[in-house]
Each structure stands twice: as C-alpha cells, then as structure tokens.
A and B are shown apart, each in its own frame.
Chain A
Amino acid sequence: MKTVFIIRAYNEEGSIARVVDALRKNYPQYDYVVVDDGSTDATAEICRKNGYNYVSHPVNLGLEGAFRTGMMYAAENGYDAAVQFDGDGQHNPEYVAGMLALTEEGNDIVIGSRFLTEKKPHTLRMLGSRLITLAIKLTTFKRITDPTSGLRVYNRKTILRFAESTALGPEPDTVALLMRKGVKVTETQVSMNERYAGKSYFTILSSMKYMTHMFVSILLLQWFRRV
C-alpha cells in the first residue's frame, strides 16, 4: 500500500527534525509530508534546510485545517493510506505496519490506542477521555478505548472523504459520526512517548471548551449531520 505520513507541525522547531529524520532513516518505505501550520518559529526553515517534503500554510489554521491539507495531498498524489502523525515526537512509527495491516483487512480507520490492553490511568485528562468513550458508546454502541489518540490510519476511501468534506476534523466526534454512517473503525494497542520539546496545547480552559465541543457534537449535533 502506498502510504503517506501526514505530520502536522505548529511551532515544533525543537522536535520536528528528530521526528522526520528518524522516520526517513528507519522507515524509508513510507512517504511523508510535513504540514507546517503557519509556524512562527523556525519550523519551516528547518524543513527547507533539511530538504524535507513539506507544505507550508501562510497562516495558522489549526489542527483541522492542517489535517485537511494533508488529506488533500494524499488524495491528489494517489495514496492508499494516510497516517495521522504528530510532529512533537509522541508517536512511534513502529506501530504503523500493524495498523496498515488492519487497514488492508478492510478497516477504514485504524486508531492507535494506548488503552486497548493497558489500563487507563485515573488522571483528570483521562477522565475526559473516559467521558468521550462513554458518549461514543451511547450513540454508536461501540467502544473506542482511546478516542483522543492522534495516531490514526485512514484508507483511500476515508482520505477522499476528508479531503472533500467540510466540517470533518481529526477528532473523536468525527470518528463517532463516521462510525454511525457505517465507516469501519478499529483499534490496536500502541505506546506513546513524552513529547520531545515544546508544550501541549491543553490548558484548563481549552480542555473545557474541547470537552463541551465533543459532547454537544457527539450527543446532539450528530443526529442532524450528513456526510
């Protein structure tokens, strides 16, 4: 399968080189594209100097916009599978082969889950994860153990869907919506690292906003959405 890693990087000057170099050196069988989401630091500069395959947004769009650029790239260059991959070093490419195998078996989306066989820790952040799992279970009757995982593999059909559609983001609510529309989603156990550098986007306020968004979207708005 022709596979491309979509690496979103927003102000990741501290980690992007390590992530991409490791991928190029150890996994040359995969293509990749870095989506520099209008970074204000040296991210784009590093990509250019090192000769990476990268796309640069003139302004910052956010996760959803960057992901769509990646999906458009994958769609236009004829890829069979796209890997949603973080530019901060949290994700391990070693698990992708297994995820691609599951894609080939006919799954549309494969999520790299930290908690399929491992237990979810009892932290505040994981409480949020649990609640989203519950909301998805209530609406789709299926269990997604790690809905917020950012390591996902999409097949060709789903790539086209994301590239063309409005209002589909790489977020749990979209996954739940697609599941309800008959898209086959499965999970496989992975482990993740601490991020190399920089800090997470999550603050108390943004987390609350995120949770509200997810809940309203999964529990209420989903019934009115068409894909």
Chain B
Amino acid sequence: MSLVLRLILIGVSLLTLIFVLVKIRKSHFTISDTLFWLFFCLVLLVIGIFPQIPAFFAGLLGFQAPSNLVFVGIIFLLLVKMFLMSVKLSRLEDKLSRLVSRQALDEHEKAKQAEEAE
C-alpha cells in the first residue's frame, strides 16, 4: 500500500471521527447510530497505521494488491450499512403510515363526539 493511500485512510478516518463527534455534541445522532461510524473510523485508522494487516490478508486470499482488499472491504462494509438503513427506512415508513392513519381516525372520532355533545 502506498504512503499516499495510507495518509488518505488516516486523514479520512480522523475527519469522519471529528464529524461524528461534532454531531454527537449537537445531538443530531443517537449514540447507537454513531457506533457504526466510530467502528468504521477505527478500521480505516488501523489499516492506515498498520498496512501489514491488509497485506497479510491480501496474501492469504490471493488479492493482487493489499489496496484492492481495502477497497473491497470498505465497499462491502458500506453495502451492509446501506442495506440495514434501507430496512430501517421501510420500517419507519410503515410506522409513520400507521401513525398518520391512527391520528386521522382519532381526530375524526373526537370531532364526532364533540358534535354529539353539542
């Protein structure tokens, strides 16, 4: 792995870390949602500091270059994250839809009762 790639990994890792911490400070993020990103930062940082680790696994798995393994690994991690987010989004949509229906029906019930009371 080239020095440039290592520096980029370390740089991106630190930037992401700062970004996440700022978001936590401003409470834009729940703690459980930040865990993934902290883990992500850690992985990038470790790879950037110890290129021997990807080099070892790249040799083991037969990758031509350690950097390829790093790319594949990052892509895979992001795919998993995206999939989980997609599932979560669907659930949220369903919940929102139920809430809206419920709220509308309750409102209707209230209006009807008020009318009858008059």
Which of the candidate stretches B21-29, B52-60, B67-75, B94-102 sits at the interface with the other chain? B94-102
Tell me what chain A mostly uses at the interface: helix, strand, loop, or mixed. mixed
> Which of B94, B97, B105 is the one whose CB lies under 8 Å from A55?
B105
Which of A55, A56, A76 is most buried by chain B, counting CB atoms within 10 A of its CB? A55
- Which of under 10, 10 to 19, 20 to 34, or 35 or more describes the interface residues of B? 10 to 19
When the two chains form their complex, are residues B101 and A69 in contact, meaning their CB atoms are under 8 A apart?
yes
Complex formed: what's the CA distance from A27 to B102 in Å?
28
Number of A-B contacts (CB under 8 A): 38
Complex formed: what's the CA distance from A69 to B97 in Å?
9
Question: Does A73 have its Cβ within 8 Å of any Cβ on chain B?
Answer: yes
Complex formed: what's the CA distance from A69 to B101 in Å?
5
**Closest residue on chain A to residue B98 by CB atoms:** A68
Question: Does A57 have its Cβ within 8 Å of any Cβ on chain B?
Answer: yes
Question: Does A97 have its Cβ within 8 Å of any Cβ on chain B?
Answer: no
Complex formed: what's the CA distance from A130 to B3 in Å?
61
Question: Does B103 have its Cβ within 8 Å of any Cβ on chain A?
Answer: yes
Residues of A within 8 A of B105 (CB): 55, 69, 72-73, 76
When the two chains form their complex, are residues A54 and B108 in contact, meaning their CB atoms are under 8 A apart?
yes
Within 8 A of B (CB), among A28-82: 35, 54-59, 61, 64-65, 68-69, 72-73, 76
Within 8 A of B (CB), among A98-118: none
Complex formed: what's the CA distance from A64 to B96 in Å?
13
Question: Does B104 have its Cβ within 8 Å of any Cβ on chain A?
Answer: yes
Complex formed: what's the CA distance from A56 to B94 in Å?
18
Residues of B within 8 A of A68 (CB): 97-98, 101
Residues of A within 8 A of B104 (CB): 35, 55-58, 69
When the two chains form their complex, are residues B100 and A61 in contact, meaning their CB atoms are under 8 A apart?
yes
When the two chains form their complex, are residues A55 and B100 in contact, meaning their CB atoms are under 8 A apart?
no
**Closest residue on chain B to residue A51 by CB atoms:** B115
> Which of B97, B107, B108 is the one whose CB lies under 8 Å from A61?
B97
Residues of B within 8 A of A203 (CB): none
Question: Does A166 have its Cβ within 8 Å of any Cβ on chain B?
Answer: yes
**Closest residue on chain A to residue B103 by CB atoms:** A58
Complex formed: what's the CA distance from A64 to B100 in Å?
12
Which of B94, B97, B107 is most buried by chain A, counting CB atoms within 10 A of its CB? B97
How distant is B56 from chain A, measured CB to nearest CB, in Å?
A: 40
When the two chains form their complex, are residues B100 and A58 in contact, meaning their CB atoms are under 8 A apart?
yes
Kindly list the 6 A-B residue pairs having the minimum CB-CB distance in the complex, ordered from nearest: A69-B101, A65-B97, A55-B108, A55-B104, A57-B104, A57-B100
- Using CB atoms and an 8 Å cutoff, list the residues of chain A in contact with chain B: 35, 54-59, 61, 64-65, 68-69, 72-73, 76, 166-167
Q: Known A-B contacts: A56-B104, A64-B97. Give 13 more (CB < 8 A).
A: A54-B108, A55-B107, A56-B107, A57-B100, A57-B101, A57-B104, A59-B100, A61-B101, A65-B101, A68-B97, A69-B104, A72-B105, A76-B105
> What are 12 pairs between A and B in contact, CB < 8 Å?
A56-B104, A56-B107, A59-B100, A64-B97, A65-B97, A68-B98, A68-B101, A69-B100, A72-B105, A73-B105, A166-B94, A167-B94
